[in-house]
Amino acid sequence: MKSFGKYLILLSTLFINRERFNVYVKRIVDESILIGIDSVFIVVIVSTFIGAVTAVQTAYNLVSPLIPLYIIGTIVRDMTVLELAPTITCVVLAGKVGSNIAGGLGTMRITEQVDALEVMGINSASYLILPKIIAAILTFPLLVIIAGFLSMYGGYLAGVLTGVITEKEYIYGIRYQFQGYNITFAIIKSLVFAFLISSISSYQGFFTKGGALEVGQSSTEAVTNSCIAVLCADYLLAQLLL
Amino acid sequence: MIEIKNISKSFNNKQVLLDVNGQFVKGKTNLIIGASGTGKSVLLKCIVGLVKPDEGSISFDGRDFTQADSELKQSIRREIGMLFQGSALFDSKTVEENVMFPLDMLTTMRREEKLDRANECLKRVGLENANKLFPSEISGGMQKRVGIARAIVMNSRYLFCDEPNSGLDPQTSIKIDNLIKDITEEYNTTTVVVTHDMNSVLEIGEHIMFIYKGRKIWEGSNKDILDTEVTELQDFIFANKLIRDMKAKKDR
């Protein structure tokens, strides 16, 4: 509870004594590149393979001749949009981005760079953390959208190229009983996960004490706590919004 | 002038500072000395506001920093320049960007003006050709110089240095000490240096405060420190053989 209180206080300090707007603009652009653009490669790989594996495993389990093959496309779409693209992508990002944020801030803390900002009269939490949270909120939904498309494309490649399903059937399945709200739900999830991952990792890094060993521990805790928070939020959002 | 009154601080029931009083004089190099773990750096962090003292007050030219509202605190902090023990340069920025950083954040100067000012400060500390290098590409001594340039770029009224010589060879240490002394005289700053380096004490210690187990037990200058009769200070000073020999020669 003490840590949760400290986390809430940290979040409230992000908006007190903020710096000039243009300072944040540059920082947000820099952070968006680090958090977003630099994560595209891993998202592309993970999501394509997730889609491919989902298609192959669904086909493997569809043994009844009564179930049409286009259902493979429908299952890939729904699993991807509702769960795999937002949740698995964000769990992967919790590992990559979360450890990067916590490690970076932890190193700045133990090498007195955070103190240097404070001595200059700069709100170090706001200057360092707020751009990371905003950048994550801006880039995670885009990464999740990319992941969604690529998962379905991965399913298409695995299904069509191996002859499990025809191109026509797969595309029909993808479009069959499509609900636009699922996309909205996925984007809402990505926004919530972006906030949780970036803020929890920042909290872990910002309050690092000690030396290099503790920076490593902060990074590990950032990833662990972010993943737990993402999974809890995933369940709550599903209960509330579906 | 900086004045500290009855500063006490404890961490987890361990008393680190107890009832420390003193003044740091403008235009002079004020030293806080003492053995490792005696509370020197904690005292410095209390003065600059990085650690909140449990008791006591700190005033900067009559402005009470401990009781100040956030606006006054902010304005006092913007008059402070600090050189950290490990230099605390921003790894992702070049030397030039590090020195320009306070100007970027705290002023509305044009980029050319900021560049001129940063280059002027880098020249002052003897680093004209390192602008585009990153902190990881320069030596420890050069990092300290960049730290000093960053500390003076805003024309700071107060300059704080936490163990400026740590990790440096004796020759570079002397250069850094002299640079701090020269800058103090040139900019008329109130400079406070935390050190346990006796060379620094004897070279630049115009006003010295000795801290022992969290208490101030001696105050004076480099002229009278060798003649002290305080046992704890004698133990601290004369641990160095060269200084023992110097004292013996002086007594003869």
B88 touches chain A (CB under 8 A): yes
The DSSP 8-state label assigned to residue A112 in this structure reads: T
- For residues A48 and A45, give the distance between their C-alpha atoms in angstroms, rounded to a whole number: 5
Count CB neighbours of A214 within 10 A. 14
- Count Cα atoms within 13 angstroms, Cβ side, for B9: 25
Q: What is the pTM of this model?
A: 0.88
Report CB contact under 8 Å: A115, B84: yes
**What pLDDT sits at residue A170?**
92
Smallest CA–CA distance from B72 into chain A, residue: A121
Q: Which residues of B touch A112 (CB under 8 A)?
A: 84-86, 88
How sure is the predictor about B23, in pLDDT bands with cuts at 50, 70 and 90? very high
The region of weakest confidence among A13-22, A80-89, B140-149 is: A13-22
- For residues B139 and A75, give the distance between their C-alpha atoms in angstroms, rounded to a whole number: 59
Q: Tell me, what's the ipTM?
A: 0.88
DSSP result, B140-207: HHHHHHHHHHHHHTT--SEEEEESTTTT--HHHHHHHHHHHHHHHHHHT-EEEEEE--HHHHHHH-SE
Burial code (b: 16+ CB inside 10 Å, e: under 16) for A140-178 equals bbbbbbbbbebbbebbbbbbbeeebbeeebbbbbbeeee
Q: Which residues of A touch B82 (CB under 8 A)?
A: 116, 119
- Tokens 């402070």 correspond to what residue? B80
- Report the pLDDT averaged over residues B156-172: 89
Report CB contact under 8 Å: B74, A118: no
Phi and psi at residue B2, in whole multiples of 5°? -110, 130
Report CB contact under 8 Å: B89, A115: no
Q: Which residues of B touch A115 (CB under 8 A)?
A: 45, 50, 84, 88
Smallest CA–CA distance from B85 into chain A, residue: A112
- For residues B24 and B9, give the distance between their C-alpha atoms in angstroms, rounded to a whole number: 19
Report CB contact under 8 Å: A121, B74: yes
CB B62 within 8 A of CB B69: no
Beta bridge partners of A119: none
Instruction: Give the tens place of pLDDT for each residue, B207-252.
Output: 999 999 999 999 998 888 888 888 888 888 887 777 777 777 777 7
Q: Is the pLDDT of residue B155 over 80?
A: yes
B51 touches chain A (CB under 8 A): no
What is the average pLDDT score of chain A?
92
Maximum CA extent, chain A: 72
A118 touches chain B (CB under 8 A): yes
Across the interface, of A19, A112, A113, the residue whose CB is closest to B105 is A19
Across the interface, of A17, A116, A120, the residue whose CB is closest to B106 is A120
Q: Is the pLDDT of residue A27 over 90?
A: yes
More confident residue, B198 or B43: B43
User: What is the side-by-side strand order in the sheet with B14-24?
Assistant: B14-24, B2-11, B55-60, B63-64
